[in-house]
Chains A and B, each alone.
Chain A
Amino acid sequence: MAQPRVLVIGGGLAGLAATMRLAELGVDVDLVSLVPVKRSHSVCAQGGINSVNALTRQQGDSEWKHLDDTVYGGDFLQHQPPVKEMADWGPRIIDLMDRLGVPFNRTSEGFRDQRRFGGTLYKRTAFAGATTGQQLLYALDEQVRRWEVAGKVKKWEFWDFLGPVLDDSGRCRGAVCQDLVTMQFKAFPADAVVLATGGNGLIYGRSTMSMVCTGSAVSRAYRAGAWYGNGEFIQVHPTAIPGADKLRLMSESARGEGGRVWVPRIPQDPRDPRSIPEAERSYFLEERYPKYGNLVPRDIATREIFDICTTDGLSVEKDRLCVYLDLTHIPRETLDRKLGGILEIYEKFQGVDPRVTPMKIFPAVHYSMGGLWVDYEKSGTGGMVEGSIRNQQTNLPGLYAIGECDYQYHGANRLGANSLLSCIFSGLFLAPSLVNVCGGKPGGDTTRLFEAEIRRQEERHRELLGRTAGDENPYALHQELGNLMTRVATVVRRNDQLEAAYDDVCEMARRWKRCAVSDTGNWTNQNVVFTKSLGDMFPIAKLILKGALLRDECRGAHFKPAFAMPGLAATDPVEKRREAEQWCDSFEANTEKWLKSTIAACGPDGDPEISYQEIDTSLIPPRPRLYGLVGGDAIEEVWKQRQGSVATSREAVVPVGAGS
């Protein structure tokens, strides 16, 4: 048998974790990335990585509770076995990263320190200053460099994935990529191809994402036949620093370390925020969510911040929506030690010291919960079967997806500090599966397939280079797309707007064909590469809009006021009880109708064909998400009675059978 070879696209946390483990298991890896892998978007993750730890365990925490927080925070939209497996692996992953030299913050005894993040009541989050993503990425980058020196890994940096190559049976046999310096095309035959290409924030124009997060690699796989799951679920991070080129993230850890969100009670109070007395400030998150305070799940924090500015008119500034995120009550020394990195970003880009003056922040597009649909094989204990070739496999055999570009772990809303975990976990966990794929690879000469695909790509490229006379500017068109998507498909969604926007995007996709390239050369032509990736944004934008339009409910990050289930109005106990019963009835009916994964398949013209798939909720039965809802206590009481014998404890659940 020939030496097994896997092609990994993307060198962020997921891609590097997979590459490291594959090399260790004896598989040769080609690692393709748009940028040197050390510069991948994972570096931007700031706050930390979640797992149960020795301390929280003694406070009653467990892997099961991590699973519960994750699926409850995600509004039950994810299959539970992969999440259980991930939560179970959490402690091992942190230990591994610790061994690899990640400089986690320490307690006075020299153990790893933890902080609290949103959506949980436990201090589960290990962190390395405010640059945890950077540190985790570097640790994996270093190990992969070691394997590169050992000859097991070959990096192809500044290379662009153009699409998978499928054989007549529909199996993925490799891919064609393009050198972004010489613009040459090359075939990469492989026993399996892994996409680890991250999110698609650039579809929204400006977001907290890096310039490489165009989603084009995923779009190319989607157009080749891979399904896309839960596209309409886009996380809008509650706290970002508005900017003209980018919306820079202000990590949740700022609130985890005690940061408080507030607005002056007087609209656009002109006073210096420091001189506004406590009584004239509204700490609206703490007021409305006494249990979680400033650390409610992200979708809720985002909506509240958005609402207080738009509905209540209490934005700090008049011309620009923003609220205060205040750290000034925390000692400078603590801030520098625990949040130094992110405070420097604010200071550097805003020219204001957040240790002295409250920061001004507003929500921004941050994370794609949706992504390529992937499979898994369920184990007898309710997790995943290690080594199964179905794990993380798209519907195209031989094509896999991990990290942010899969749809598997975060449901309708991701909890803070769970993304770093899901990226490393899915990468590590996939590797033994791929070893098994390499063992059973199909035969047959694929030369002809690759030649044909290279020809097709060369033709597309040449056609683009020839477009010099068009009347559309790709950069302006991108901005137009971003503005539209931000307006209709972020915090608040309305069907009339979504419907109109879908038509607008179809029209933009047609206009894209008239884009003129301003650089017709064939050397480091960034202009043509951007134009190409812009063209790839439309099919994904369409499936986001279509998925959002069809989903007539509120779930996690997807919020449609027309279909919201308001809290209880009654105060009289009997009436309140009746309303709570009604509320639970509608909740059950809604669950029945909408607790399903949205699956988009690419149809002609890049229009999505949407279908729905049942979700495996065999471990933890769905329950209402009641963070801060008026009458939540009464609803919870009714709900618990209805559940009766259906306990949510681990003992009561006997997961059986395999399959998703």
Chain B
Amino acid sequence: MIKAMDTVADLVTPGADDAAHGGSRRVVRVRVLRQDVAGGESYFERFEVPYEPNMNVISVLQKVAAQARSQDGRRVAPVAWDCSCLEEVCGSCTMLINGRTRMACSALVDSLVSTDGDEIELRPMSKFPVVRDLVVDRRRVFRGLEKVKAWVPVEGSYDLGPGPRISPEDQEDAYPLTECMSCGCCLEACPQYTKVETVRRDDESEADFEKRRQSAFDSGFVGAHAISQAMLFNSHPTGRMIADERMEALTAKGGIQMCGNAQNCVAVCPKHIPLTRSIARAGRAATVWAIKKLFDR
């Protein structure tokens, strides 16, 4: 009765529905770089699923999970991957699709096939430790936000009246930066952002390991997303009250000075955030900050 909601994708094993479609059913072929456990060996595995108009990489992976068979018919464990909202706003499903870092939900099969040929390659992000298959550990992204104190330092949540008045121009300037969903695309594409993988030692307590991992994170480049968030909060009337602390973080080890100005970040950002504008602003602010510090000494 409810046709539009009823026409759900078929979840068939390859070939099972061929008879109904004259035996020439179109398929989508994918090649997935798999890894069974953290730190394990990686290997490619190929899959084939029935094609549907308008399908995205997520629906391909859903079918792969449902059939749990490789292209040559072997029973294999379903491919693991991260996703949640499927409308490019949660930041979960970042992966390398035909070599490009992007969100799997908004990667439409038709356009991939028409530009890159008929086999789609899926790989996990390379700048983060692989947990399994396409799932990576992106805790370092959130650590970056801690490092630059990406928040408004309010006194508390009791009612103290409204926030500061903000002109529409300032709101429109800030808004694009607030859309950052911590997906990590800008980090994957950045030549200065390199993988940090720490493994817990046998004799190490969980707390000690956590401390060591955090300091490893902090010694690497903090990345475009965090620099942009620092600039966002430094432009907010209340946020800027701790602007110095953010500048301290941005000029410390792993800070803005590591940016090599490759500008890959802005090219791959799925939300089109003006990351290089933020970086330029941060660069200028860092210079001013350095001079100020020199005279304050």
Q: Which residues of chain A have a CB within 8 Å of any CB of chain B?
A: 20-21, 24, 35-36, 38-41, 43-44, 92, 94-96, 98-101, 103-112, 128-129, 131, 134-135, 138-139, 142-143, 145-146, 148-149, 181, 205-206, 210-212, 242-249, 306, 310, 319-322, 337, 341, 345, 348-349, 351, 362, 364, 428, 473, 475-476, 479, 482-483, 486-487, 490-491, 518-521, 523-524, 526-527, 530
Contact = CB atoms under 8 A, between A and B. Distances in A.
Contacts of B58: 245
A142 B232 CA distance: 13
Given A244-B8, A364-B5, A134 B179 contact: yes
Given A103-B174, A473-B11, A475-B11, A487 B106 contact: no
B154 interface: yes
25 contacts: A35-B84, A36-B182, A40-B90, A41-B90, A95-B159, A95-B160, A95-B162, A98-B162, A99-B152, A101-B152, A101-B236, A104-B171, A106-B166, A138-B178, A139-B152, A145-B142, A245-B9, A246-B86, A247-B5, A249-B87, A310-B1, A319-B3, A345-B87, A475-B62, A486-B5
Interface stretch (B72-80, B188-196, B258-266, B276-284): B72-80
A338 to B, nearest CB: 11
Nearest to A112: B162
A523 B92 CA distance: 19
A20 B88 contact: no
B289 interface: no
A348 B84 CA distance: 17
A114 to B, nearest CB: 13
B2 A321 contact: yes
Given A38-B181, A138-B178, A210 B59 contact: no
Interface in B81-100: 82-92
B265 to A, nearest CB: 19
B246 interface: no
Contacts of B82: 35
A39 B92 contact: yes
B106 A211 contact: no
B215 interface: no
B197 to A, nearest CB: 15
A56 to B, nearest CB: 15
B142 to A, nearest CB: 7
B24 interface: no
A70 B110 CA distance: 44
B6 interface: yes
A84 to B, nearest CB: 18
Contacts of A181: 131
B146 interface: yes
Given A39-B84, A41-B90, A306-B2, 6 more contacts: A43-B89, A112-B162, A146-B153, A479-B8, A519-B78, A521-B36
B41 interface: no
Contact of A244 (B1, B59, B151, B157): B59
Contact of B62 (A41, A245, A349): A245
A99 B92 CA distance: 28
B165 interface: yes
B132 A524 contact: yes
Contacts of A341: 89, 179
B150 interface: yes
Given A146-B151, A518-B75, A527-B77, A110 B90 contact: no
Interface of B: 1-9, 11, 36-38, 52, 54-56, 58-59, 62, 65-66, 68, 75-78, 80, 82-92, 105-106, 108, 131-133, 135, 138, 142, 145-146, 149-154, 156-157, 159-163, 165-168, 170-172, 174-175, 178-179, 181-182, 233, 236, 238-239
A224 to B, nearest CB: 26
B170 to A, nearest CB: 8
Nearest to B78: A527
A143 B151 CA distance: 6
Contact of B3 (A108, A110, A321): A321
A518 B13 CA distance: 14
A486 B6 contact: yes
A486 B92 CA distance: 27
Contact of A44 (B77, B89, B133): B89
A320 B3 contact: yes
Contacts of A96: 157, 159
Nearest to B111: A351
A206 B157 CA distance: 37
A109 B154 CA distance: 24
B178 A103 contact: yes
B223 to A, nearest CB: 16
A44 B85 contact: yes
Contacts of A109: 165
Which of B8, B82, B157, B178 gathers most chain A CB within 10 Å? B157
B84 A24 contact: no
Given A103-B175, A518-B68, A524 B152 contact: no
A210 B90 contact: yes
Given A244-B55, A362-B4, A110 B165 contact: yes
Most buried by A among B5, B56, B181: B5
A36 B62 CA distance: 21
Contacts of B80: 524, 526
Contacts of B182: 36, 38
A43, A205, A345, A487 — which one has the most chain B CB atoms within 10 A of its CB?
A: A43
A322 B54 contact: no
A362 B5 CA distance: 9
Given A310-B1, A483-B6, A211 B86 contact: yes
Nearest to A342: B87
Contacts of B66: 473, 475-476
A40 B66 CA distance: 25
A211 B2 contact: no
Given A95-B161, A244-B9, A519-B77, A490 B2 contact: yes
Given A337-B172, A475-B62, A20 B157 contact: yes
Given A92-B159, A473-B66, A518-B75, A131 B142 contact: no
Given A101-B163, A210-B85, A523-B36, A486 B65 contact: no
Contacts of B175: 103, 128-129
A44 B162 CA distance: 25
Residue with the highest number of chain B CB atoms closer than 10 Å, among A35, A101, A476, A487 = A101
Contacts of A520: 77
Contact of B157 (A21, A98, A142, A348): A21
Contacts of A242: 4-5
Q: Which 5 A-B pairs have the closest CB atoms?
A: A518-B68, A98-B163, A142-B151, A475-B66, A110-B165
Contact of A43 (B55, B90, B160, B239): B90
A523 B181 contact: no
Nearest to A350: B54
Nearest to B137: A181
B157 A211 contact: no
Contacts of A243: 54
Contact of A320 (B4, B77, B154): B4
A518 B55 contact: no
Contacts of B160: 95, 99
Contacts of A24: 156-157
Contact of A107 (B37, B86, B89, B168): B168
A95 B89 contact: no
B279 to A, nearest CB: 20
A145 B58 CA distance: 30
B178 A128 contact: yes
A99 B131 contact: no
A249 B85 CA distance: 11
Nearest to A149: B146
B212 to A, nearest CB: 18
Residue among A21, A98, A247 with most chain B CB within 10 A: A98
A244 B152 contact: no
Contact of B152 (A43, A100, A476): A100
Nearest to A34: B84
B83 A211 contact: yes
